[in-house]
Amino acid sequence: MASLVQLTRIGLRKDLQLEWRSKDALNAMLFFGGLVVVIFSFVFQPTGDEAREIAGGLIWVAFLFAAVVAMNQTWARELRNQVLDAYRVSPASPNALFLSKALGNFVFVALLELLMAPLFVIFFNLRAIGPAWQLIPVALLGTWALVVNGTFFSALSIRTRSREMMLPLILFPISLPAVIAMVEATTTILSGEGSGPSWPGALAAYDVMFTTICLMLFGTVLSAE
């Protein structure tokens, strides 16, 4: 019997390989994210200090929208040819399936952020006043916060009518505190001011809490009739 880690790795490898060959999700997500950045810079035309104040919010909104585009496709592949039904009857742990999907989405969204962040820097003339390296742990924690719930809710909405519309409707309200924390943490670093509470700490707590809940409930959702 393969272990959870092994199964997760196999699933993740399969998803990454498929994505590498088609690049469907990544292309759609990148183009969409790029459009959002361009629209934002048209609308706000920010400069200097003003850009630092609002960039944290804009970046994360752009990532959030783009991530939804990708996460909506998470389970589409498994629905064709009843692959999901095969998963249900297989003795493999449902959590391995969930983790591989969530990690796959994490890789896609992190890649998107890596490619889109320079775009933001160029369009908004950004230069961090605080320690810029801290943006990396904030981005990792924030991305996981979006992706873990997004992957789960995407599975939740498989059976609903107009399922692509459903994901943002349930993901955005639940993610609001995480989004606030990401934006605050980013703005603190960019503008180099503000002490306040530990926003990365709050994000980490959010991640732990919701990862636990996702793992506890995913089996139930997967086997729902």
Partner 1 sequence: MKNKFTIFATLTFALMAYGLYQALAVAPTERTMGDVQRIFYIHVPSAWIGGLCLAVNFLASLVYLLQRNQPLGRKADALAVASAEVGVICATVVLVTGPIWAHKAWGVWWAWDLRLTTTLVLWLIYLAYLMLRRFSPAGNAPLLAAVLAVFSFADVPFVWFAIRFREYRGNHPKPVFGSEPGQGLHPAMLKAFLINLLSFTLFGILLVAVRYTLERARQELQERRLRIALDPEIRAAQEVTR
How many residues bind partner 1, per CB under 8 A? 32
Residues 71-100 that bind partner 1 (CB under 8 A): none
- Evaluate whether 207 touches 148 at the Cβ level (below 8 Å): yes
Q: Cα(196)–Cα(188) distance, rounded to whole angstroms?
A: 9
Q: How many degrees, rounded to 5, is the angle at CA 125 between CA 48 and CA 145?
A: 100
CA distances from 73 to 15, 66, 85, 111, 180 (A): 12, 12, 17, 16, 26
The yes or no reply on residue 178 touching partner 1 (CB under 8 A) is yes
Q: Which is nearer to partner 1, 12 or 105 (CB)?
A: 105
Least Å distance, CB 45 to partner 1, is 25
Residues 10-69 that bind partner 1 (CB under 8 A): none
Residues 143-172 that bind partner 1 (CB under 8 A): 149, 156-157, 159-162, 166, 169-170, 172
- Evaluate whether 148 touches 119 at the Cβ level (below 8 Å): no
Q: Among residues 39, 114, 176, 208, which is the contact residue for partner 1, using CB under 8 A? A: 176
Q: Cα(138)–Cα(199) distance, rounded to whole angstroms?
A: 9
- Evaluate whether 151 touches 105 at the Cβ level (below 8 Å): yes
Interaction site with partner 1 (CB under 8 A): 149, 156-157, 159-162, 166, 169-170, 172-174, 176-178, 180-181, 184, 196-197, 202, 205-206, 209-210, 213, 217, 220-221, 224-225
